[in-house]
Amino acid sequence: MVAASGLRGRTAAAAGVAAMATAEVLSNCVAKRLYRRRRPPPEWVPPDDLRDRPDSSSFPSGHAAAAFGFAAAAAPVWPAAGAVCGAAALMVAAQRVHGGAHYPSDVAAGGVIGLAGAALVRAAPYLLRRYVL
C-alpha cells in the first residue's frame, strides 16, 4: 500500500497498522484474559493442523480482530484497498474456523473487536484534541 499509492497508501497503511495493534491489545491482552474458552475438539481439526494449534483461549480470535481492524481503518482512507483487505479479512476468519483453531463465534467476536479498534483509531485525533490537548 505504501509503495503503490503515495500519501494515500501511507495514510491507509498507518491507520490499518494502528487499528490492527489496537485490536490485538483489546483481543489478546483484555478479552482473552477475561474469558477462557477451550479450542474446538481435536476430532474437528484436520490431522495436519493439530500440531499448529495454539494453547491460548479460543475466544476471541486475535487473527480475525487484527485483519478486520486493518481493513476497517484502511477503507475510509482508500476504499478500493479497504475492499481488498476486507475480502482478505473474511478469508482469515474462514480459515481460522476451517482449520479448527476457533469456533465461528470466536471469529465473529474478533471481527467486532477489530471494528472497535478501527473506530478508536479514527476517533483518536478528536478525542486527543477534546480531552487531552
Distances (CA, A) of 114 to 3, 41, 76, 99: 25, 26, 15, 20
Helix (H) or strand (E) holding 57: none
| Three-state SS at 58 | coil
Q: What is the pTM of this model?
A: 0.84
Cell of residue 26, nine digits: 483489546
Per-residue pLDDT of the chain (133 residues; tens, 9 = 90+): 777 778 888 888 889 999 999 999 999 888 888 888 888 877 777 666 666 667 777 789 999 999 999 999 999 999 999 999 999 999 999 988 888 888 899 999 999 999 999 999 988 888 777 777 6
d(C-alpha 72, C-alpha 117), whole Å: 9
Domain spans in the chain, listed from the N-terminal domain onward: 2-47+56-132
Domain 2-47+56-132 has CATH 1.20.144.10: yes
pLDDT given for residue 29 in this prediction:
86
* Helix pair angle (79-98, 104-127), 10° resolution: 150
CB–CB of 38/50 below 8 Å?
no
Characterise 97 by phi-psi region: left (phi > 0), alpha (psi -120 to 50), beta (else).
Answer: alpha
